[in-house]
Chains A and B, each alone.
Chain A
Amino acid sequence: MLTAGEYSNHGRQLQPETSPAELNLPRVLSLLSSKLEKLVARNEKLVDILNHQLHGLNCGSVRLGNSLNTFHGVRAPSISIPKYLERIYKYTNCSPSCFVVGYVYIDRLTHRHPDSLVTSLNVHRLLVTSVMVASKMLDDEHYNNAVYARVGGVSNAELNKLELELLFLLDFRVMVSSRAFESYCFHLEKEMVVNGTVLKIERALAPKAMDELEAEISVEDKQSPSPPQISD
């Protein structure tokens, strides 16, 4: 189970919270949070409706998201998506681009496995796993699974299992071309228009990760950079 209260069960308390203002959080965090929160809300509504219909048919409750079963918790963790992302960012120091790429993975997952729905039961595990894998891909220096497990509030063993599950569900398509990366950034940026101005994701904040992003590879990516579909 992944609940806020459990974080401290994995050893000593993590560093005291710093207020978000001090942290100067990269913008991608809030954009991604907002995107995912909407997605989850929409999917939950969908599940509700389906449950209702099924209930009428006396079929029990709906079992959606079979492909993502491994990621399902029993209850939704109490920590919010923005807080969770902030936590990952703060404690793993991964480059902000990892969140974009993690999002690409989640999106690819839902495309490859149309029976899967991102819901409040699986979104946390999906996030910590995909950001971790993204960091393995992008950052030449990064923390190991044990650290991510602690930060994410899951056991090391479970996170390893989730990692494998993610890799296999993605069929190891973890390459993200710079074009795909840009298009996902753009998609996320549209998420938040403040006073008519698009807030750009700080690509410059992470020159390292940007530079290490997979360049376009001419041997064609059959998995075409899917136009972002997670939208409402």
Chain B
Amino acid sequence: MSGLGQLNVNESPSWGSRSVDCFEKLEQIGEGTYGQVYMAREIKTGEIVALKKIRMDNEREGFPITAIREIKILKKLHHENVIKLKEIVTSPGPEKDEQGRPDGNKYKGGIYMVFEYMDHDLTGLADRPGMRFTVPQIKCYMRQLLTGLHYCHVNQVLHRDIKGSNLLIDNEGNLKLADFGLARSFSNEHNANLTNRVITLWYRPPELLLGTTRYGPAVDMWSVGCIFAELLHGKPIFPGKDEPEQLNKIFELCGAPDEVNWPGVSKTPWYNQFKPTRPMKRRLREVFRHFDRHALELLEKMLTLDPAQRITAKDALDAEYFWTDPLPCDPKSLPKYESSHEFQTKKKRQQQRQNEENAKRLKMQHPQQHSRLPPIQQGGQQHAQIRQGPNHPIHGSQPAPAGGPSHHYGKPRGPSGGPGRYPPGGNPGGGGYNHPNRGGQGGGGGGYGSGPYPPQGRGAPYGSSGMPGGPGGGPRGGGGSGYGVGAPNYPQGGPYGGSAAGRGSNMMGGNRNQQYGWQQ
């Protein structure tokens, strides 16, 4: 045993030592597979926080892996552009203890992660009807995104799920990275063998789509590039519906990879399956020729096929783009947008939208129809608009509709989904994306399920018949049982489709398509 001298007596009290009763729940702002999310006020201080209840109802899985990882990583990261996990609180709950010990089930009532409260997420904000970001505003968000990501990368953390709905924005204009449930540490020396089934499909880099399991921070930078382009373009640039289509969309814009532009690409596991059948030239500059010169230059470097040549967060921060007029604005100068998270109200409103979308869906099959307004291009003018001051949306003549949904976590689960960001499918999973694909395409994409993603597995030690619980029941992740919550988010079936017999991957089971990791 250690002597007392070994103890760090200055440590703050253990997490989990406080009860959720220290907070007054104000309203539910999200509900999903991960659990409910509440806006709450700390009674003692009056501070507003977000409480995310960790769902513990999948007995077979125990404490959700995403929650452990998120807690573990956020405990270490402290940065103004990274969401702050303030503490973990528990609620005792009136549970019985089968062994009769008084303290036996002290956590049974529930475990909550306490986050700082954020008003919006980038996707939700961008999707507000009539919303137009200004150039200085985009620069401001991009710079904060890169700053936060640089911090993560310097600390050897890969986020692995960078996308708009995981970038939270408060009414001070601060942007913070959230949802570290897929994140993990990496080490430069042992750069090897990570799962390639991470990052929401539309933001997934070509090296992962080609099956690489040795990767690094460049994967996040690709996602950043996608978001950057999306902000400038007004809609997602690679809305693929499955992996092959995703790669194809990338190749169409960025050209086909070969040993010249990406040394080593032919050695990637699935290169031969996916290499383009016809020559494809890089068309990025042509397609986005209307972009600002510096923006295009930076985007080129982010959307570089070869991860080794892709720009790093650090270098991106030094890009001309951020240092030429119009300069990034001060976050505080950004307009304050009304946040809305009246869960119930929104539910109703979204039901309406859903009906509209259902109608639309009959006409449209693919997400390309989606569009946002591209940014306002003239910086100077926009400065003036921004200075309209707080509580005014940029376009005074076009006030944001009251309660316009800006909150991804505010969205109710299920098919009533989002505010029509990607009309077809109407957010079938409530994820804001048609094909979140976190769980893989498995049974979905024809001819794909059995291809490049072999059932993960070293086989079941019990032999097939001995697998407890049958399909999906054994090693985690199988057939949609992920975290017990199936996945309203995964219209195409569970992780790995039918490969429930093997070991599922750690990474895939949960619903990871929401900010803070909670479902919208």
User: Which A residues lie at the B interface, using CB under 8 A?
Assistant: 11-12, 14-15, 69-70, 90-93, 110-112, 114, 117, 132-133, 136-137, 139-147, 150, 156-157, 159-161, 163-164, 167-168, 171-175, 178, 207-208, 210-219, 221-224, 226, 229
Q: How far is the CA of A160 from the CA of B61 in the complex (A)?
A: 8
Q: How far is the CA of A39 from the CA of B474 in the complex (A)?
A: 34
Distance to closest chain A CB from B457 (angstroms)? 8
Q: Contact partner of B15 among A12, A137, A172, A218, CB < 8 A?
A: A172
Chain A contacts of B104 at CB under 8 A? Answer: 70, 161
Known interface pairs A143-B503, A217-B185; A157-B59 also in contact (CB < 8 Å): yes
Contact of B461 among A90, A137, A163, A216 (CB under 8 A): A90
A9 and B437 CA atoms in complex are apart in Å by 39
**A93-B458, A215-B156, A219-B78 as given contacts; A142 in contact with B2, CB under 8 Å:** no
Residues of B within 8 A of A91 (CB): 461-462
Q: List the B side residues contacting A146 at CB < 8 Å.
A: 59-61, 468-469, 473-474
B190 touches A114 (CB 8 A): no
Q: Tell me if B500 is interfacial: C-beta within 8 Å of chain A.
A: no
Contact of B506 with A140 in the complex, beta carbons under 8 Å: yes
A99 to B154, CA, bound (A): 29
Annotate B470-498 by CB proximity to A: 1 below 8 A, 0 otherwise: 00011110000000000000000000000
Contact, CB under 8 Å: A226 / B6: yes
Q: What chain A residues lie within 8 Å of B68 (beta carbons)?
A: 133, 136-137, 167, 172, 174
The answer to whether A137 touches B72, judged by C-beta atoms less than 8 angstroms apart, is yes
Residue in B78, B156, B192, B456 whose beta carbon sits within 8 Å of that of A211 in the complex? B192
**How many angstroms from the CA of A192 to the CA of B61 in the assembled complex?**
36
Q: Are A114 and B59 in touch, CB under 8 angstroms?
A: no
Please measure, in the bound complex, the distance between the C-alpha atom of A146 and the C-alpha atom of B6, giving whole angstroms. Answer: 36
By a CB distance below 8 angstroms, the chain B residues around A229 are 1-2, 6
| Shortest Cβ gap from A94 to chain B (Å) | 11
User: Contacts A114-B7, A173-B75, A222-B8; is A156 near B107 (CB within 8 Å)?
Assistant: no
Contacting pair A214 B475 (CB below 8 A): no
A156 and B1 within 8 A (CB): no
Q: Which of B8, B103, B468, B505 has the most CB of A within 10 A?
A: B468
Asked if B98 is at the interface of the complex by the 8 Å CB criterion, the answer is yes
Query: Once bound together, how far apart are the Cα atoms of A178 and B60, in whole Å?
Result: 30
Q: Are B77 and A144 in contact (CB under 8 A)?
A: no
B402 within 8 A of A: no
12 A/B residue pairs, CB under 8 Å, sorted by A: A114-B2, A140-B195, A141-B506, A143-B476, A144-B476, A160-B56, A160-B63, A168-B16, A171-B15, A175-B185, A217-B157, A219-B76
B6 is contacted by which of A111, A142, A167 (Cβ under 8 Å)? A111
In the complex, whether B378 has a CB less than 8 A from a CB of chain A is no
Instruction: Mark B residues whose CB is within 8 Å of A.
Output: 1-2, 4, 6-8, 11, 14-16, 56, 59-63, 65, 68-69, 71-73, 75-78, 88, 98, 101, 103-105, 107, 111, 154-157, 184-188, 190-195, 456-458, 461-463, 466, 468-469, 473-476, 503-507
The residue that A140 contacts in the complex, of B15, B62, B155, B194, with Cβ under 8 A, is: B194
Name the distance in Å between A223's Cβ and chain B's nearest Cβ.
7
The CA-CA distance from A219 to B157 in the complex, in Å, is 11
Once bound together, how far apart are the Cα atoms of A212 and B186, in whole Å? 7
Closest to B457 in A: A141
Roughly how many angstroms separate A178 CA and B6 CA in the complex, as a whole number?
Answer: 21
Chain A residues with CB below 8 A from B62, complex form: 132, 144-145, 159-160, 163
B187-A141 in contact (CB<8A): no
Q: How far is the CA of A226 from the CA of B193 in the complex (A)?
A: 28
Cβ-defined contact, B504 with A141, below 8 A: yes
- Report the minimum CB–CB distance from B447 to chain A (whole Å): 25
Complex Cα distance A228/B75, Å? 23
Chain B neighbourhood of A11, CB < 8 A: 466, 468
A168-B16, A212-B184, A219-B77 are known contacts. Are A141 and B505 too (CB-CB below 8 A)? yes
Residue of chain B at shortest CB distance from A174: B72
A212 touches B194 (CB 8 A): yes
Known: A147-B474, A160-B63, A163-B63. A141 touches B193 (CB 8 A): no
Partner of B105, one of A15, A161, A174: A161
A93 closest partner in B (C-beta): B458
Find chain A residues with CB under 8 A from B194 CB: 140, 211-212
Tell me the smallest distance from the CB of A63 to a CB of chain B, in Å: 13
Given A146-B60, A175-B75, does the pair A215, B193 have CB atoms closer than 8 Å? no
Which one of A111, A143, A163, A218 has the greatest number of beta carbons of chain B within 10 Å? Answer: A143
Decide: B468 and A111 in contact? CB cutoff 8 A: no
Flag if A207 contacts B506 (CB, 8 Å). Answer: no
Across the two chains, which residue of chain B brings its CB closest to A135? B506
In the complex, besides A164-B63, A164-B111, A211-B190, 6 extra interface pairs with C-beta distance below 8 angstroms are A133-B68, A141-B505, A143-B503, A150-B468, A161-B104, A219-B155
**Interface pair B461/A93, CB less than 8 Å apart:** yes
Q: What are the residues of chain B within 8 A of A140 when measuring CB–CB?
A: 193-195, 505-507
Q: Which residue of A lies closest to B197 (CB)?
A: A140
Q: State the CA gap A129–B77 with chains docked (Å).
A: 26
Chain B residues with CB under 8 A of A212: 184, 190, 193-194
* Cα of A31 to Cα of B59 in the assembled complex, Å: 33
- From A111, A164, A211, contact of B2 by CB (8 A): A111
- Which residue of chain B has the shortest Cβ distance to A167 in the bound complex? B63
How far does the alpha carbon of A15 sit from the alpha carbon of B506 in the complex, in Å?
Answer: 25
When chains A and B are docked, how far (Å) is the Cα of A136 from the Cα of B474? Answer: 15
A166 vs B461: C-alpha distance when bound (angstroms): 26
Contact A144 B2 (CB under 8 A): no
Chain B proximity of A71: nearest CB distance (Å): 12
